[in-house]
Structure 1
Amino acid sequence: MKDKIIALVGRGQIVVWEGAALWLLEGTQDRAELRPHSHHAIQVTFALKGDFKIGVAGEDLSGPVAAVDADASHTFEATGVAAFLFVAPESAAGRALQQGILAGRHAASVTTGPLASALGGLRNCYEGGASGAEIRQLGQDIVDALPTADEGSLPDPRVQAMIDYARNHLDGSITLPTAARLAQLSDDRARHLFVKHTGLPFKTFVLWLRLERAVAKYAGGSSLTEAAHDAGFADSAHLSRTFRRTFGLPAAALRLVQALATIPVTANRTHEGRYFHFQRATAAMPETAA
């Protein structure tokens, strides 16, 4: 299949945590557009300023909030500012979205419930120039508010041992048998217990940890290759393939503004912080650092 040009230009912030990510994206052109594409994460789109249109399975959906199921091919057009909540379909929150809002459909508009209620908080985040930590906390709060999301209880100490092992070895190989041995569990018992307490298979959990670290390192000024290696990916191409499969964009579409950017958010306020530029890209775009 030929590479499709992704005509999305803008700037924004990305936060990633285990099983989910939240993007705030401000367009720098009249209208941003994504041609037909799919990604493994469930996508929930929020119109913070302006509007959007999602085309999927012959149907057009518009804001202010809409969800697209994992791996569903769709188009996207938007003006203004949008927020994107990406959720791993293997997670408890992902299963809640598929069983509830999506209910077997490729996409659905959202008019009630915690996702619809989150719109105001996301708009306040954008207008108030929230920090990355504040955006992440809001994203986690939104996910935790979903019907079957974990309520924040501490995991079993054996699961915590597996989590600690994964977090401390992201720059190398991480395996379930090693994690199970450290937790003094059989492989099968470790696999079951981990899903029960985290909502994610161990392999998927580790993948999101790697994405989280890679995005943080890239945001901190590392090259794409450096960020990939530090997060345990084989190379930048491996990171980009994983990023694209998860979010629908190659990692090279992100061009970090290394200097602090001053971005007006209201008539009287500005927010200083590191921002990404999202540039026109193709899947074959060279994986070089900005």
Structure 2
Amino acid sequence: MAYQNRLYVWDDRFLYLTEGIASGLTQRHTVTLLVSLGEAGFRLGDEQGRVTDYPAALIGNQTARSLDASRAPLLSMNFDPQSYEYHCLAAMLGRQAVRPVIVTPGRIEPATLRAAREGTLDAAGLFRLTTALPRALSGYWPIRMPMDMRVIHIAQKIKKELPLTSTLEELAAEVGVSAHRLRHLFSDKLGISIKSYTLWARMRRAVELIAHGESLSVVAHDVGFSDAAHLTRTLKQFFGLTPSFVARGMGVRML
């Protein structure tokens, strides 16, 4: 059966299921789990042009990699720094930029995955799938981590108030710290700078708007880019996808 490419987006994660894709170097602010859904596997290339085959792999945040998954369907599960799984998988990666992983047989129900690929899995089942995927990895272990609610609040605010934006000083005042202290807290607790996180939030919003049929010029203005060409280049760098592919080549569901 042929399946449509599908993108499921939550506040702190997104799941991409594709029948085949090849892209140049991309660099995301997520920890990404890639799993081939066929026997052929996929290939990752680094900035030096070295290429390695994998059946499944973890990719660290801000790691530039090219992808060739043209030989088999692919699952791409991406966890935002705001999610608990991001930090568990980052600990599993350690200092490695890319790590081959093994998905324990039988831990993911084929019927659930098939329904996600067909677009018939409900919201509860989809979210349960995103939490089951990390736990299906051999060697995965939940970690203990201290979290600062001020950081969680600011991360949520950055996403939820778009296209409006607050200055760093305004955000800091909202949680009762200096701008310098907020920069340090955010990077320390989420593992990403507040500037990079804001750009990531804008890219996620851009995908949503494009999927809903907004023109590129409108989307570019909404997310703070000078023009549609700049938006297109940045979107491709982050997701490995062109706006036209997002608009016509996949089903997008915001959850």
**With structure 1 as the length reference, what TM-score do the two structures score?**
0.62
Unaligned runs of 5+ in 1: 1-9, 258-273, 277-290
Distance between the aligned counterparts of 2:106 and 2:68, measured in 1? 19
Moved more, 39-48 or 128-137: 128-137
Distance between the aligned counterparts of 1:119 and 1:61, measured in 2? 25
Asked if structure 2 preserves the Cα contact closer than 8 Å seen for 1:40 and 1:89, the reply is: no
- Structure 1 residues 248 and 219, CA gap change in structure 2 (3 angstroms): closer
- Structure 1 residues 62 and 124, CA gap change in structure 2 (3 angstroms): farther
- Structure 1 residues 170 and 232, CA gap change in structure 2 (3 angstroms): farther
Q: Deviations over 1:34-66 (max 9, x none)?
A: 26x222125422223564321436453232x22
Matching of residue 241 in structure 1 with residue 233 in structure 2: yes
1:54 alignment partner in structure 2:
43
1:71 alignment partner in structure 2:
63
Alignment counterpart, residue 208 of structure 1, candidates 200, 204, 208: 200
- Structure 1 residues 55 and 13, CA gap change in structure 2 (3 angstroms): closer
Deviation at 1:142, TM superposition (A): 4.4
- Structure 1 residues 54 and 150, CA gap change in structure 2 (3 angstroms): farther
Which residues of 2 match residues 217-236 of structure 1 at below 5 A?
A: 217-236=209-228
1:13 alignment partner in structure 2:
6
Alignment counterpart, residue 100 of structure 2, candidates 100, 109, 112: 109
Q: Deviations over 1:222-258 (max 9, x none)?
A: 223323333344433333233222223333443327x
Distance between the aligned counterparts of 1:244 and 1:116, measured in 2? 34
Distance between the aligned counterparts of 2:242 and 2:26, measured in 1? 11
Asked if structure 2 preserves the Cα contact closer than 8 Å seen for 1:26 and 1:80, the reply is: yes
1:190 alignment partner in structure 2:
182
Aligned residues between the structures: 240
Asked if structure 1 preserves the Cα contact closer than 8 Å seen for 2:41 and 2:71, the reply is: yes
- The amino acid across from 2:101 in the alignment is V
Alignment counterpart, residue 24 of structure 1, candidates 17, 22, 44: 17
**With structure 2 as the length reference, what TM-score do the two structures score?**
0.69
- Structure 1 residues 88 and 166, CA gap change in structure 2 (3 angstroms): closer
Which residues of 2 match residues 121-140 of structure 1 at below 5 A?
A: 121-127=112-118, 129-130=120-121, 135=126, 138-139=129-130
1:256 alignment partner in structure 2:
248
- Structure 1 residues 20 and 189, CA gap change in structure 2 (3 angstroms): same
Distance between the aligned counterparts of 1:53 and 1:214, measured in 2? 27
- Structure 1 residues 15 and 208, CA gap change in structure 2 (3 angstroms): farther
Distance between the aligned counterparts of 1:141 and 1:239, measured in 2? 33
Moved more, 65-74 or 217-226: 65-74
Q: Deviations over 1:157-198 (max 9, x none)?
A: x44553454245412443322211222211122233334555
Deviation at 1:100, TM superposition (A): 2.4
Matching of residue 39 in structure 1 with residue 26 in structure 2: yes
Percent of aligned pairs sharing the same letter: 24
Query: What SS does the aligned partner of 1:216 have?
Result: helix
Moved more, 215-224 or 164-173: 164-173
Deviation at 1:98, TM superposition (A): 4.9
Distance between the aligned counterparts of 2:59 and 2:152, measured in 1? 32
- The amino acid across from 1:139 in the alignment is T
- The amino acid across from 1:240 in the alignment is T
Distance between the aligned counterparts of 1:14 and 1:83, measured in 2? 10
Distance between the aligned counterparts of 1:228 and 1:144, measured in 2? 38
Distance between the aligned counterparts of 1:100 and 1:275, measured in 2? 31
Distance between the aligned counterparts of 2:192 and 2:218, measured in 1? 27
